[in-house]
Amino acid sequence: MSTCPVLALPDFTQPFVLECDASGTGIGAVLMQNRHPIAFESRKLREPERLYCIYDKEMLPIMHALAKFRQYLVGGRFVVRTDHNSFRYFLEQKDLNER
């Protein structure tokens, strides 16, 4: 038996946590505060996106979520969490492609 999550109201004095993930067919993100969900977002990968390398595919939900939850995040503090170690690849690169 499972229960539906209850969305919490945002507190703009507290930092947000953005948890993002990608799979072979879709991307998803949860905006949270104090371990309570504020909002959810997901979508299917477009056909060209399915061909992305793993680095780009793992960055995609982060970029999508930042755009989707912009009104919550601009001007405040937030943390992005991802479960994929290849994300470190982006932190070590001097030059990144336009994607």
Residue type for position 44: K
pLDDT of residue 92: 72
Question: Strands across the sheet with 26-33, in order?
Answer: 36-44, 26-33, 16-22, 78-82
| DSSP 8-state code for residue 1 | -
In a domain, 59, yes or no: yes
Token pair for 62: 């982060």
What percentage of the chain exceeds 90 in pLDDT?
A: 69
- The total of structural domains in the chain comes to 1
In a domain, 11, yes or no: no
Question: Exposed, middle or buried: residue 67 (CB in 10 Å: 0-12, 13-18, 19+)?
Answer: exposed
In a domain, 97, yes or no: no
pLDDT class of 55 with cuts at 50, 70, 90 = confident
Domain extent at residue 63: 16-92
| DSSP 8-state code for residue 52 | S
Residue 34 to residue 38: CA distance in whole angstroms: 10
